[in-house]
Structure 1
């Protein structure tokens, strides 16, 4: 297995989660360029953090704080940004919204639109975790907090992909989070915004344990971007219609 293959070659593999085994997922995960960049960032951040460390305790605190920042940041972004309508109503943001979330709900088995892109994840991580870590313990704390957030990003990306994989998890934890996340995708998208945990859903009243606890939504797959909406805000539809036939055919094979 070639480890460093680049984005173009990775996408040519046409990773469809409903046709993949767990081993296929591991291969796709470790060869995805963004995951490799994350690993490098963690390594550099930890080395720099240790080299400039003045307190092991504060370093550890910053790392843990960085890790704990991820779930709340993800919840807020997922609920209020990715599930908001304002991005597809803006020409300059429509393509970004399409890539980072609309395509994932429309084509949940397409791994290429499940994994986040560095152009969206890294700025968020650096500007959120960096200042908090710096406040805790200067440069060392900033590095620790960034490392903690990136580690949580990698962990969540893998679990998220596994939730869409066509297999029955043996782990009760994974089985539970898979059921709740798939309910978000196929039953009601206005709840269960978490991936690996649902503390913030429970805190803000958007959690439902069973599909019977929430009404079925007609917009779970299109996030409210209906044909009628597309007539007024056409940019996402135009981009979708312009996609290469090869990509459209691939997604048809991965249709849920």
Structure 2
């Protein structure tokens, strides 16, 4: 047991501290520190290395897997228009998965030691340090583990020849999501659509963290009623 009023020492590795916050963890983790520093998570250099990923690693590692998966469906006789449709469906499925994971898993309420610890590793660290450029994309080792059940689920639902292209489309959707997420935090968009998307996402971090769960678009927020009000609308209501 830890006494009430536990304070996290930001000068020490964070991961095994945050669990001691108990019920206070939710308030603590949703008070962002906007600086670009990258805090230390673990004493171990090995585990610390696994938590840090440059954004460009994601397309380098996963795009070859995307193309390989899609090529398998091509070799099984599907036409290019069919392949394009399957990939588009895979991307569409990813957008729903992106929203669902962000809303119901990444924002799950925790208060136990291990619940807080795991949540911090999964997503809480991003809300506490939203500008940490080395922890904005998902570590490839963790992605590889999660891809196994995703691939098995796709094979179970769809046919033998369509599954690879659908899987490749879903993985392409993930790559688009992760690089978009990085860009929304560190890019300087010049187009209005990109500026709106950046504003939309940073609003989730710094103003209304219980709404706006879409990253690549606001589609599913509109469908499921989690679209945040604009500042003008909230002032007038």
Q: Residue 44 of structure 1: CA displacement?
A: 1.8
In structure 2, do the counterparts of structure 1 residues 212 and 126 end up closer, same or farther at CA, with 3 Å as the change threshold?
A: farther
- Check whether the contact 2:36–2:129 (CA below 8 A) recurs between aligned residues: no
1:101 has 2:123 as partner: yes
Instruction: Tell me what 1:153 maps to.
Output: 174
Instruction: Tell me what 2:77 maps to.
Output: 53
- Check whether the contact 1:46–1:147 (CA below 8 A) recurs between aligned residues: yes
1:89 has 2:108 as partner: no
RMSD: 2.8
**CA distance in 2: counterparts of 1:166 and 1:39, whole angstroms:** 21
Q: Residue 171 of structure 1: CA displacement?
A: 0.8
1:144 has 2:175 as partner: no
207, 211, 215: which one pairs with 1:195?
A: 215
- Structure having the higher helix fraction is 1
- Check whether the contact 2:94–2:173 (CA below 8 A) recurs between aligned residues: yes
Instruction: Tell me what 2:198 maps to.
Output: 178
Instruction: Tell me what 1:29 maps to.
Output: 55
Aligned length: 186
**CA distance in 2: counterparts of 1:137 and 1:157, whole angstroms:** 28
Deviations 1:199-231 (A, max 9, x none): 11011111025234459xxxxxxxxxxxxxxxx
**CA distance in 2: counterparts of 1:132 and 1:123, whole angstroms:** 15
1:40 has 2:61 as partner: no
Instruction: Tell me what 2:137 maps to.
Output: 115
Q: Residue 129 of structure 1: CA displacement?
A: 5.9
In structure 2, do the counterparts of structure 1 residues 179 and 195 end up closer, same or farther at CA, with 3 Å as the change threshold?
A: same
**CA distance in 1: counterparts of 2:127 and 2:143, whole angstroms:** 18
44-53 or 118-127: bigger deviation: 118-127
Q: Residue 63 of structure 1: CA displacement?
A: 1.7
Q: Residue 111 of structure 1: CA displacement?
A: 1.8
Deviations 1:45-69 (A, max 9, x none): 1222222235655544332211101
TM-score normalized with structure 2 length: 0.68
Instruction: Tell me what 2:48 maps to.
Output: none
- Check whether the contact 1:133–1:145 (CA below 8 A) recurs between aligned residues: no
Instruction: Tell me what 1:67 maps to.
Output: 91
- Check whether the contact 2:99–2:220 (CA below 8 A) recurs between aligned residues: yes
Residue ranges of structure 1 left out of the alignment (5+ in a row) = 1-15, 20-27, 216-256
In structure 2, do the counterparts of structure 1 residues 194 and 184 end up closer, same or farther at CA, with 3 Å as the change threshold?
A: same
